[in-house]
């Protein structure tokens, strides 16, 4: 049984890597709430945006299995053409979705820093997390289990590098979502 899971994860990673290396891929996002109603679904094209020379992109995402279940996360570092440079996956204890996304961000920033990249565009599908990181006045609203992670994120952002943190639609964060599927291959424990 375990060898089947390893093969499944290996094949998934291989497919994910090939997907990430393709240039000019397109994803079509659709408002599923509008399907079946009299309102026509809103469809928009979502594209990979090329970076300027010398930049890398970090896409991060976090998940929770069940209500306050296992905290899972992942991220990808890509070059200016969208090629996969490296990535990570994490699984750590229990917590909220905000904690999962914050942990994915701090692990991703640490990885980028340790690899020596100095010009980074960071994308997260959590508008709440992006606002909390960028606005210190929101600290009173940060849950206690996220405050220490938020502090680590801000310390990493204050290092001497050029970094931009933005919110990105979930449909564009498809690669980060793929790490959830990868982590679902891993047994609890």
**What separation in angstroms does the CA of 156 have from each of 36, 82, 110, 163?**
46, 24, 7, 10
CA distance 58 to 56: 7
Query: In the chain, which ranges are E strands?
Result: 26-30, 43-47, 56-65, 70-78, 84-94, 119-124, 162-167
What is the mean predicted confidence (pLDDT) over 154-158?
Answer: 92
Q: What is the pTM of this model?
A: 0.69
Q: What is the pLDDT of residue 134?
A: 86
What is the mean predicted confidence (pLDDT) over 119-131?
Answer: 90
- Within 29-120, residue ranges assigned H as helices are 97-115
Better-predicted residue by pLDDT, 98 or 21: 98
Structural domains of the chain ordered from first start: 50-183 (3.30.420.10)
Mean pLDDT of all residues belonging to the chain: 73
């Amino acid at each position: 049984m375990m060898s089947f899971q390893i093969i499944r994860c290996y094949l998934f990673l291989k497919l994910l890597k090939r997907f990430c290396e393709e240039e000019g891929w397109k994803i079509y996002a659709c408002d599923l709430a509008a399907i079946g109603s009299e309102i026509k679904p809103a469809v928009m094209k979502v594209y990979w945006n090329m970076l300027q020379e010398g930049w890398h992109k970090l896409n991060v995402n976090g998940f929770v299995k069940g209500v306050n279940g296992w905290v899972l996360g992942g991220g990808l570092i890509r070059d200016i053409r969208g090629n996969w440079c490296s990535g990570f996956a994490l699984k750590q204890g229990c917590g909220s979705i905000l904690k999962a996304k914050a942990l994915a961000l701090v692990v991703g920033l640490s990885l980028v820093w340790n690899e020596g990249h100095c010009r980074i565009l960071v994308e997260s599908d959590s508008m709440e997390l992006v606002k909390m990181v960028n606005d210190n006045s929101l600290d009173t609203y940060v849950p206690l289990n996220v405050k220490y992670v938020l502090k680590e994120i801000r310390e990493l952002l204050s290092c001497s590098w050029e970094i931009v943190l933005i919110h990105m639609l979930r449909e564009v964060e498809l690669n980060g979502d793929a790490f959830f599927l990868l982590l679902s291959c891993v047994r609890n424990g």
